[in-house]
Amino acid sequence: MADAQHPLEALPAARIHVLTLGVDDLDRALRFYREGLGLKSSGITGTEYAGSATAPAGAVAMFTLDDGMILALYPRSELAKDAGVEPTRTAGSGISIGYLVDSHEDVDRVLDLARRAGGSVLGEPHDRPWGIYSGYFADPDGHMWEVVHFPGGGGPA
């Protein structure tokens, strides 16, 4: 029998393949992630799709991360048109994007790279009572990232 805990039809394999961040300035965002953080991208593509007042334009920058996930940067105004929502729906949200690294030193290094690339480090990294070492940064559009080291090389249980 179906209930909230056990629906009749389960989702296919639960995975996230693409994370799209709405940005105010696509060129600036591309520079931050590609030149500042060293992520690989062929640059802005889809510029041949101009869009209109109601149809979204196609300009986007994408990065294929080491685990195969795609990080996409898309202008906030175009994201709103594409999703059919008011532009205010694409501004700031109460989430952080987790970036797991191998050591305390890697946490510090990533935060330093983000700072030098124009991001904001949100307080100093430190050991958390639950056993991780982490710190936060925000990209130039305010997207918050938590850089995390799990001692012992693991992740959450």
Domain range summary for the chain, segments of one domain joined by +: 15-91, 92-157
Q: What is the pLDDT of residues 9-38, one digit of tens each?
A: 666 777 788 999 999 999 999 999 999 999
**Is residue 65 pLDDT above 80, yes or no?**
yes
Is 95 exposed, middle or buried, given 0-12, 13-18 or 19+ CB atoms closer than 10 A? exposed
**Is residue 5 pLDDT above 90, yes or no?**
no
Domain 15-91, CATH = 3.10.180.10
Q: What's the Rg (C-alpha) of the chain? A: 18
Give 1's pLDDT tier (boundaries 50, 70, 90). very low
Residue whose pair of structure tokens reads 């709405």 in the numeric block: 22
pTM of the model: 0.84
Phi, psi values for residue 41, rounded to 5°: -155, 150
Type of residue found at 17: H
**Is residue 7 pLDDT above 80, yes or no?**
no
Q: What is the pLDDT of residues 91-145, one digit of tens each?
A: 766 788 999 999 999 999 999 999 999 999 998 999 998 889 999 999 999 999 9
Asked if domains 15-91 and 92-157 share a fold, the reply is yes
Superfamily of domain 92-157: 2,3-Dihydroxybiphenyl 1,2-Dioxygenase, domain 1 (3.10.180.10)
